Amino acid sequence: MNRAFEAHVAQLDRIDVVVNCAGICWKKRVVELEDDEWKQMLSINLDGTFYVARAAARVMERQKAGTIILISSGQGITGEAGFGAYAASKGGVARLGEVLAEELGPNGITVNVVNPGLTFTRLSRDTFKTEQDWRAIAARSTLPRLGRPADVAHLVVFLAGPGSTFMSGQHITTRGRSPGQLSGPHDWVFDEARALGAELPEGM
């Protein structure tokens, strides 16, 4: 990773912004997790973020400027049943962001953490499959739609731009979420999910 960053600097002189957003997820109770599944989740979601952020920080400290944006998750703030490995990995990303902001701030480097709620991607489509899953998602949203990648991307662009130069060590969440459960049938979620490409069983 260090060689990759140094090669970039050799070609373009500097690195201004780095966004860590690779990740995997699946739904499985802690007692059912295999050792390899736990290690894989932490390796990709947490270790990968650490290696990229560390390499970026080494370059940015030399140039006394830069922005690092870590993509954590709402699960990194409050874990939910079935997401033990994912929540642990994303919680680690969130704490890493806080530490990096403290350590790198004196060199003019900003570090912020984005915590998306459910965002409809291939990953979420493959993770949530049952009617119960989708109704639970809808019951937490005050907005009658699912999050989209563009909702997260717009925030990342802001954090990478001039409007956020006095923001560091912050956790920003993208989710149209209520702090509690909202009553109602929430049938809108099935049409919304289908419109975005989810393959849901008939009758949902």
Q: Percentage of the chain with pLDDT > 70? A: 85
Q: What is the pLDDT of residue 109?
A: 98
**Per-domain residue ranges for the chain?**
2-195
What is 2-195's CATH number, 3.30.750.80, 3.10.180.10, 3.40.50.720, 3.40.50.620? 3.40.50.720
Q: Taking 70 as the threshold, does the pLDDT of residue 184 lie above it? A: no
> Which tens digits make up the pLDDT trace of 6-44?
888 888 889 999 999 989 988 899 999 999 999 999 999
The single residue listed with the structure tokens 């400290």 is: 61
120: which 2 tokens? Answer: 């409809």
Question: 141 forms bridges with which residues in the sheet?
Answer: 177
> Which tens digits make up the pLDDT trace of 61-77?
999 999 999 999 988 88
For the beta sheet containing 17-20, the strands, ordered from the edge strand earlier in sequence to the opposite edge, are 17-20, 66-71, 109-116, 171-174
**Cα(94)–Cα(115) distance, integer angstroms:** 8
Q: What is the mean pLDDT of the chain?
A: 86
CB atoms within 10 A of CB 161: 11
The active-site residue, picked from 83, 86, 134, 190, is 86
Indicate if 51 belongs to the active site. Answer: no
- How far, rounded to the nearest angstrom, does the alpha carbon of residue 16 sit from its chain's CA centroid? 20
Q: What is the pLDDT of residue 30?
A: 95
Amino acid at 171: H
CB burial class (10 A; 0-12, 13-18, 19+) of residue 127?
middle
